[in-house]
């Protein structure tokens, strides 16, 4: 009997132990689930932060009549600063300190991420959580870096900031900073201002386009002859991968050169391969040449396949267009020609627009060897000063008000930002007439 009781007791103890162990495993599994859920939540929060970072990574700094671009750091301080900027422009009255910085009160506090930093020219620093300092020289201290003014030398920045007190105006590049669109006869919307890439190559090209996208550009103009289709595609893919844009947000145009007209299908496939962005938004014939109709008809086939969305011409004028149109099926969506205040081609522009074709101007700022003269024109300088804008902005605004699309090129981040900042003012009718009076019929390139 004692043996039976002992056996039963042993079984009961074993059962209790098993239950306890099972309970531990269950609790451990539940704990693992909770832990995993916590990881998921952290991941979700991290994604939110990354989204906030990718949404805005460049801001605008206005100092007197100068516009500077600031590339932001990826930290909680800069993200909090962005959130404040979403409520409106932040204006700081800054004074000189130590002959190496301008410092001013924020009027509110931001989270800090202090660490020892040796500042560089253009560094935007958060100090003590409630002060903004902009450095034009070096200093070593525990700071939080918010960002850095792009593409400015020490002497340039010192000159812009001047001696004594200065007003710093910070703002974000919102939807209003982006170029309005115009509807092409193909049914697609296209931004009325983009970045040209004629002289951009290698990393300079990639970085310039990426900066342009950060600044709100959504149109890029390239060509086979520019030799940079691969870099353009790389920049667009990088911007997509970084969450700045989706493919459908960006409008990419390229061109076939006359030496490609004999075998246009192969040339189109090469462009698609080099760009590697799925499809081409707009393809142009770069200028008239033997077999241009053959090349255009090949582009028409790619429109039918959906690999090209819109097609058009470049450097075609009244006689060339009128001769060309009866030979093709799809009316060009756009014609791109040289247009600037010294070469306005008003009759050509009017003729093209009356055909329901959008006009785009290359060399909008005068082009190689002529830009300095145009940007120094007394009439343009006077108009620019009256609007507190640059001459380049006045010219681009003149084009916009004439319904002419423009693609100014630059590798300078400040000029890139300046060129798209033309939608917050308007030229008067009298000012438009003054610019019209500058026409010399002076063509600056042979096309």
**What gap in Å lies between CA 265 and CA 271, rounded to an integer?**
10
Decide: 255 and 310 in contact? Cβ < 8 Å. Answer: no
Helix (H, G, I), strand (E, B) or coil at 60: strand
Look-up of token digits 């609790």: 27
3-state secondary structure 3-59: HHHHHHHHHHHHHHHHHHHHHHHHHHHHHHHHHHHHHHHHHHHHHHHHHHHHHCCEE
Look-up of token digits 């605004």: 397
Q: What is the CA radius of gyration of the chain?
A: 30
Of these residues, 135, 224, 226, 342, which one is catalytic?
A: 226
Decide: 312 and 284 in contact? Cβ < 8 Å. Answer: yes
User: Which of 148, 138, 172, 141 is CA-nearest to residue 127?
Assistant: 141
- Identify whether 127 is a catalytic site residue: no
**What gap in Å lies between CA 201 and CA 177, rounded to an integer?**
26
Name beta bridge partners: 406.
193, 361
- Which tokens in the block code for residue 31? 């704990």
Look-up of token digits 């024109």: 377
Q: Could you say which DSSP state residue 331 is in? A: P
- Which tokens in the block code for residue 382? 């006077």
**What gap in Å lies between CA 348 and CA 402, rounded to an integer?**
13
User: Which of 41, 38, 18, 14 is CA-nearest to residue 30?
Assistant: 38
Number of residues that this document lists for the chain: 447
**What gap in Å lies between CA 240 and CA 252, rounded to an integer?**
13
**What gap in Å lies between CA 291 and CA 47, rounded to an integer?**
52
Distances (CA, A) of 21 to 18, 235, 404: 5, 57, 78
**What gap in Å lies between CA 447 and CA 445, rounded to an integer?**
6
Pairing status of strand 58-63 against strand 189-191 = unpaired
**What gap in Å lies between CA 409 and CA 407, rounded to an integer?**
6
- Which tokens in the block code for residue 290? 């033997």
Catalytic positions: 226
């Amino acid at each position: 009997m004692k043996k039976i009781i002992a056996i039963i007791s042993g079984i009961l103890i074993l059962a209790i132990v098993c239950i306890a162990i099972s309970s531990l495993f269950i609790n451990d599994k539940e704990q693992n689930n909770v832990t995993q859920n916590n990881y998921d939540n952290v991941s979700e929060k991290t994604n939110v932060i990354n989204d906030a970072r990718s949404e805005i990574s460049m801001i605008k700094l206005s100092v007197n009549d100068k516009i500077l671009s600031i590339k932001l750091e990826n930290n909680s301080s800069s993200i909090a600063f962005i959130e404040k900027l979403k409520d409106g422009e932040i204006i700081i009255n800054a004074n000189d300190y130590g002959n190496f910085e301008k410092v001013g009160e924020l009027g509110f506090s931001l989270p800090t991420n202090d660490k020892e930093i040796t500042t560089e020219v253009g560094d935007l620093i958060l100090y003590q959580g409630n002060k903004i300092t902009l450095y034009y020289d070096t200093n070593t201290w525990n700071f939080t870096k918010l960002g850095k003014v792009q593409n400015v030398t020490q002497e340039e920045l010192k000159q812009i900031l001047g001696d004594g007190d200065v007003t710093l105006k910070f703002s974000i590049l919102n939807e209003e900073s982006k170029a309005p669109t115009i509807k092409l006869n193909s049914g697609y919307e296209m931004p009325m201002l983009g970045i040209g890439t004629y002289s951009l190559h290698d990393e300079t090209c990639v970085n310039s386009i990426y900066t342009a996208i950060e600044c709100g550009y959504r149109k890029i103009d390239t060509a086979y002859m520019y030799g940079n289709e691969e870099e353009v595609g790389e920049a667009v893919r990088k911007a997509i991968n970084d969450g700045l844009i989706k493919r459908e947000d960006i409008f990419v145009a390229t061109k076939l050169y006359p030496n490609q007209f004999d075998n246009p299908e192969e040339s189109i496939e090469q462009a698609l391969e080099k760009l590697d962005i799925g499809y081409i938004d707009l393809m142009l014939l770069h200028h008239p040449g033997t077999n241009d109709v053959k090349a255009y008809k090949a582009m028409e086939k790619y429109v039918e396949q959906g690999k090209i969305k819109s097609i058009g011409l470049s450097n075609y004028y009244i006689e060339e267009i009128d001769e060309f149109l009866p030979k093709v099926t799809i009316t060009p969506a756009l014609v791109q020609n040289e247009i600037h205040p010294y070469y306005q081609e008003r009759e050509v522009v009017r003729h093209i627009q009356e055909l329901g074709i959008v006009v785009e101007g290359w060399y909008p700022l005068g082009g190689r060897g002529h830009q300095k003269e145009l940007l120094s024109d007394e009439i343009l300088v006077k108009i620019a000063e009256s609007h507190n804008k640059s001459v380049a902005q006045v010219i681009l605004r003149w084009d916009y008000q004439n319904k002419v699309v423009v693609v100014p090129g630059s590798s300078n981040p400040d000029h890139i930002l300046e060129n798209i900042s033309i939608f917050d003012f308007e030229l008067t009718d009298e000012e438009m007439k003054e610019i019209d009076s500058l026409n010399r019929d002076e063509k600056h390139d042979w096309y």
